[in-house]
Each structure stands twice: as structure tokens, then as C-alpha cells.
Structure 1
């Protein structure tokens, strides 16, 4: 149930992003290759590497360790762009990063799981087809939304309103689901595991305060995109492992939204910042 809800939320979020970000908006990102390199490195190297180091140092159980590494190594969560919208960040930066990070996640998740001592590649072609479907679930609605915005701007405005409302409702439902199903089971993950997740999420949103990274709106986009992991991808690999691994991913999602959503809402209360 959680995987299906996150998948639908992913599609609605990317459609909302696509109808708000034009193709021309990506020009500013192309002129900031340093920003792209730092953001990609933070998502596929720094955060997963930190996760492996922390779970090794804390010596969590093997299943909890795998769940936390899967979540930390899965970049490009669709709700990162949705939270960028709320945080008044640079939507073009967030959308472009998700386009880059979605395919990279198909490599980084199994690679970092292997570093942590676990093999998670599903046997047969069915697993690859499902992961590929998750990739299409991001790219296709984004492309459809951007096409509408370019050629049918009035339709795009209507679709954007509906998609964003749907995404907001789904986001609230997913957060509530994580609260209802996850809070009482956090002790099963262990308080050291909860502490590790908290550290990872806090570190992931620190780009918002790094002035040398770019403009305020760009930093907000990088922070929200990095903070929100691709739980659909992480849950897919976790489901092939064990229920405890799934529980660890859900615990990561609970704490992730518990931190990232208030941060986005707090940023939304500040004055609008123009993208550069």
C-alpha cells in the first residue's frame, strides 16, 4: 500500500513540477555546472557514504542497516520538487536534478547496498522492468507537463492546480500513513537507528545554508531535492529483502517528512526569492 501511494504521489508531483517549469528555465542550470556536480555528488556519494559509515560505526543489525542504506542511497524523490514549490525554491533546478538523479539511483542503490555487504538486485528481468517503470513515472509526467506549459499554457495552468492539489493531499496522506504505521514501531528499528536517520536527514537539508553553493532559491532546491529520498525505489528493493528492511525504510520516510516538511513550510513564510 505504501509503495503504491508513493508511486502515485511521485506522478502527481512531477506533473505539478512539469506544468510550472518551462524548458527555457533549464538554461540557468546549464550555466551552473558546479551546482549540478555538487548536488549530484551530495546525493549519490556523500549522503550514502555517510550512511554506510554511520551504520558501521553504530553497529546496527544487518536488516536495519540495509534499510537505512537503501533509503539514503535512493536519490530523486518526486516530493522533493513538490517541497521546492512550497519552499519557494528554484523549480527548474529541482526538476532538472530529479531528471539526472532518477537513473543514477538505479545504479547507486545496489552499489551502496553492495558496499554495505548486501546484494539487492532482483533476479530476472521483472525487477528491472519495475525499476524502469519507476523511472518512467518521473520522466513521463514531467515531460507531459512541460509540453503543456510550452504549447497549451492555459491547459497547463489548470492541470498544475489539479496536480498540485492532488500531490498535496497525497503527501499529507503518506505522512499520516508513516505516522500511524511507523511511530509505534520505531523501537523495532532501535533508537540508535532513529538517531542515524535523524543525522542523515539533517545533513541532507544543510545545503540551504551554504551561501557559496548558489542563490537562495537554488540552495533551497538542492536542499529539498537532497532531503527527500526516492522511497519508491528504496521500498522496491526493501520488499525483496525482508519486512524488517521495509520497516527501516518506512522509519526513514517518517523522520524524513517529519523534518523536511516543516523546513519547507518555514521557508515558505519568508519573502519570495527570485531565481537566477
Structure 2
């Protein structure tokens, strides 16, 4: 998957989200501090910890365990806000959390790799640049979209439609990429490994159904942004690792989208539209 296509996907996704947001939406989020606090704890403590425990209980090999832990410890995937939009979740929550998760991954990935018994090379300047680029690709389009909605609402509506269509097409390309690169190679990863990945992804999606906090739209946003991990960062850290680690991460990406996209569409059918 080319870097340019991923960058366009990120920008188009966040522009589509930004054209639906107002500053008041973020001010309302500040009145609900439990939502971001619990979401951050889930992403940097609960999900990685669950991955370590499940991999240990399943008796997975070292490389497969390493790949799963890297994915589980890397929050802030670029399409989390887009899936929040499709799931009719709280877009202010989704956009804010996605921006918070990305830099946290620089800390949580090496920390959880160490907890799992590995000694990965630190992300270093390259990892920082990767995260910084991702953040700019999130913040700038959201800001532009919000400005358009406030100053040029008719233009904002047209931009929303086009950017959302572009993002949806590129998301489909990403899913097909994971299907082509790892769909036929799941037996190489092992069905037990695939099962562990599926359980981790389902745990990420569980906030949408578990009434930990209200409103439901916030839960859907937490679920979608938690389900989509920052696999670019995980693959960057795994660059010097063996092929099994990389294949495990690709399998994670396949199962991540295979489970989260249908859940997002199902939630959209059962949720009221978000204004």
C-alpha cells in the first residue's frame, strides 16, 4: 500500500469529519472528562494487557506474540474517525481521541513490547516524524473543514460529500490490500493466532455495546477509534523483526477491518443521526 494513498485516505477522512464539526462540539467534550480518560486507559493499558495475557494463555510463538502486542499497543489508526462517521458516533470524540492516541503510541509500543519480554529498537526520529506527519494530516484537515462549515456552509457540504466518497473508496482499497497480502496466508499465521487477534479486535469494539458511559454516540466513537490500530507505527517498529511478525501485523489489519467495518455499518442502522 503506497504512502501517498494512505496520506490521501487520512486527509480525506479528517476533512469529511471536520466539515461536520463545530467548536462547540469540542467544548462539550470538555464537560465529559470521563470519556477521554477511560478511552485512553482502554487503549494504552487494557487492550495491550489483554493481548499479552491472551497470547500467553494461547501459547503463541515469540514472533506471533510480538506482532499482536505491537498492534495492540499502537492506538490512533488513521481511519478510526472515518469509521466513527459511518457508525454515527460522536465525531468530536472520535477526532479528539485519534489525535491524542497517535503520540501515546510512541510510548506505549516500546513499553508493552518490553513488558511482553521483547527489546525493540526505539521509534527514534523516524517514528516521531511518522507520528507528527499523521497528526498534521489529522489536525489541519479537521480545522479546514470546521472553518468551511462556519464560513462557507454550502461549500463545506460539497467538500464533505467528495472527501467522504474519496475516503470510502480508499478504505475499500486498504481492505482489499490486507485481503490480498494476508487473506490467503492466515494458515501460515495459524488459526490460534488469528483467533487471538479476533478476540482483541472484538474487545476493542465492545465499548459500543457496554454502557460504561453515556451517550451511546460517544461509546461508538470510542469503539471505532479503539478498534483501528496504528499499524503504520507497528510496522515501522517491526521493520527489523522477522517475516512472521510482519505477517502477523498484516493478518491483524485484515481481521481488524473485517470485523470493525461491518460493526460500524450495523451501528449506523441502529443509531440516530449525529448532528
Alignment partner of 1:177 is 2:177: yes
Give the secondary-structure state (helix, strand or coil) at the position aligned to 1:88.
Answer: coil
Which residue of structure 1 lines up, in the alignment, with residue 67 of structure 2? Answer: 67
Contact 1:6/1:231 (8 A) holds in 2:
no
RMSD (Å), alpha carbons: 2.0
Give matches, 1:165-204, under 5 Å.
Answer: 165-204=165-204
Q: Kindly tell me: are residues 271 and 67 of structure 1, through their superposed partners in 2, closer, same or farther at Cα, counting changes over 3 Å?
A: closer
Give matches, 1:1-276, under 5 Å.
Answer: 1=1, 5-122=5-122, 125-273=125-273
Task: Give the TM-score of the pair, scaled to structure 2.
Answer: 0.92
**Greater CA drift, 9-18 or 84-93:** 9-18
The separation in 1 between residues aligned to 2:191 and 2:102, in whole angstroms, is 31
The separation in 1 between residues aligned to 2:212 and 2:195, in whole angstroms, is 29
Which ranges in structure 2 are unaligned for 5 or more consecutive residues? none
Provide Cα deviations, 1:166-198, integer angstroms capped at 9, x if missing partner: 110011111111112211111121111101001
Give the secondary-structure state (helix, strand or coil) at the position aligned to 2:270.
Answer: coil
The separation in 2 between residues aligned to 1:49 and 1:159, in whole angstroms, is 40
Provide Cα deviations, 1:4-31, integer angstroms capped at 9, x if missing partner: 5444322221222122222221122111
Q: Kindly tell me: are residues 92 and 63 of structure 1, through their superposed partners in 2, closer, same or farther at Cα, counting changes over 3 Å?
A: same
Which ranges in structure 1 are unaligned for 5 or more consecutive residues? none
The alpha-carbon deviation at position 248 of structure 1 amounts to 0.8
The separation in 1 between residues aligned to 2:152 and 2:25, in whole angstroms, is 17
Q: Kindly tell me: are residues 59 and 42 of structure 1, through their superposed partners in 2, closer, same or farther at Cα, counting changes over 3 Å?
A: same
The separation in 2 between residues aligned to 1:200 and 1:3, in whole angstroms, is 27
- Count of residues in Structure 1 that have an aligned counterpart in Structure 2: 275
**Greater CA drift, 225-234 or 266-275:** 266-275
The separation in 2 between residues aligned to 1:170 and 1:183, in whole angstroms, is 18
The alpha-carbon deviation at position 274 of structure 1 amounts to 5.0
Task: Give the TM-score of the pair, scaled to structure 1.
Answer: 0.92
Contact 1:178/1:250 (8 A) holds in 2:
yes
The alpha-carbon deviation at position 213 of structure 1 amounts to 1.1
The alpha-carbon deviation at position 33 of structure 1 amounts to 0.7
Q: Kindly tell me: are residues 159 and 239 of structure 1, through their superposed partners in 2, closer, same or farther at Cα, counting changes over 3 Å?
A: farther
The separation in 2 between residues aligned to 1:80 and 1:128, in whole angstroms, is 20
Contact 2:78/2:134 (8 A) holds in 1:
no
